[in-house]
Structure 1
Amino acid sequence: MKALVFIAIIFLVGCAPKIVSTPSGLQYRIVQKGSGAAAKAGDEVFIYETTSYRNGTVLYSNYDSTSPVRVLIGGNQATQAVDEGLRGMREGEIRELTCPPYLVKRKGYPPNVSPDSTLVIKIRLDRIVAK
């Protein structure tokens, strides 16, 4: 019985989504893989996102909207965390970013957020705009 429990634990640990840490301090995990070409600097993309505190309190979300947000990667249109987190994503991919305070600083976004807050941002890349 102990061997069976041990094998189950090994299997579950092996199935856990890998957390990637970038040199900037951003951490992310891929919740759902996408397909197609990878997004890169200079691409315009449409995204859905939810920004929350680590305790789950939602600060902003457009997931229930029919209108994704259009963002130019590298165009200073999003926080540094979102801009970095979008790079390498594929259409349909969902990533959950854990963002240190210095990567989410932006005047008025999201409103009423302590500047020392680590935020969790869930992003779904809806599509990359054809050039």
Structure 2
Amino acid sequence: MSTPSGLQYKRIMKGTGVKAKTGQEILLFETTRYRNGTILYSNEGTTTPVKVLIGGNQATLAVDEALVGMKVGEVKEIIAPPYLVKRKDYPPNVHPDSTLVIKLILHKILWQPL
């Protein structure tokens, strides 16, 4: 599937409960890789999820867009073009003009916005 912004995604596993919304803090596990399979970052398989405020400029546009509507336990894989994963600063192992494949696992929704 794809969105109007050009983000491609597939749902690997359905989640349960309420859908995540912009303005919520969530905990997630993720694995980011190049299309050739080279892993750039992963906290999957650890006990330490990342805390993200959806829409709070803490994640790339691609990750923020993909998280909206996910449910706890849902697993989604996105293919994000370079313009959706642009950052101010890049880790030394990430080329700024790369299309990235990101596996997202929504671990927990911490709070609901008012």
Fold agreement, TM-score > 0.5: yes
Equivalent in the alignment of 2:74: 93
Matches within 5 A, 1:42-57: 42-57=23-38
Displaced runs of 4 or more, over 2 A: 107-112
Distance 1:84 1:60, change over 3 A: same
Equivalent in the alignment of 1:5: none
Alignment pair present for 1:64 and 2:45: yes
Q: Per the alignment, in what secondary structure is the counterpart of residue 62 of structure 2? A: helix
CA distance in 2, matches of 1:124, 1:71: 12
Name which one, 1 or 2, has greater alpha-carbon Rg: 1
Alignment pair present for 1:30 and 2:11: yes
Higher helix share: 1
Shift of 1:115: 1.6
Where structure 2 has 5 or more consecutive residues not aligned to the other structure, the ranges are none
Aligned alpha-carbon RMSD (Å): 1.1
Alignment pair present for 1:126 and 2:103: no
Where structure 1 has 5 or more consecutive residues not aligned to the other structure, the ranges are 1-19
CA distance in 2, matches of 1:69, 1:30: 20
TM-score by length of 2: 0.93
Q: Determine which structure has greater relative contact order: mean sequence separation of CA pairs < 8 Å that are 6+ residues apart, divided by chain length.
A: 2
TM-score by length of 1: 0.82
Alignment pair present for 1:112 and 2:93: yes
Counting matched residue pairs gives 112
